Amino acid sequence: RPAGHPRLVSVLADRYSQHMQRSIDAMTEICVTVGASQALYLTLQALVNPGDEVVVLEPAFDLYYGQIRLAGGTTVPVTLDVDEDGHRWTLDVSRLPAAGTP
């Protein structure tokens, strides 16, 4: 089963079951990590297969690149657009199909 003290994952499952309006199984659907870096690492290890391409929206946190490589994937950067004031970032979704290998 995923990590986490049984009482903690039970409380989290109850809380998120209400929030998500569906039943969440504490013992199979909740995983407690020591932080965001471990959560990202475990997620990438579970979902990325060797040779997979992973789209990374840039600018990005530098941790993403190494963790994707550790999982066997390759990064595919897609740059976000920023407005003139530098306050609003947007994604031109038309760039996504061209970013990866068909």
Residue 72 lies in domain: 49-102
pTM, two decimals, is 0.78
Q: Report d(CA 32, CA 16) in Å as an integer.
A: 13
Residue 18 within any structural domain of the chain: no
Tell me the C-alpha distance between 59 and 79, whole Å. Answer: 7
pLDDT the model gives residue 1 = 64
Phi, psi of 6 (to 5 degrees): -55, -40
Query: How far apart, in whole angstroms, are the C-alpha atoms of residue 15 and residue 51?
Result: 37
CA count, 13 A, side-chain hemisphere, 27: 1
* pLDDT score for 100: 80
pLDDT value at residue 57: 96
Q: How many domains does the chain have?
A: 1
Structural domain includes residue 12: no
CA angle 54, 60, 66 (to 5 degrees): 60
In a domain, 58, yes or no: yes
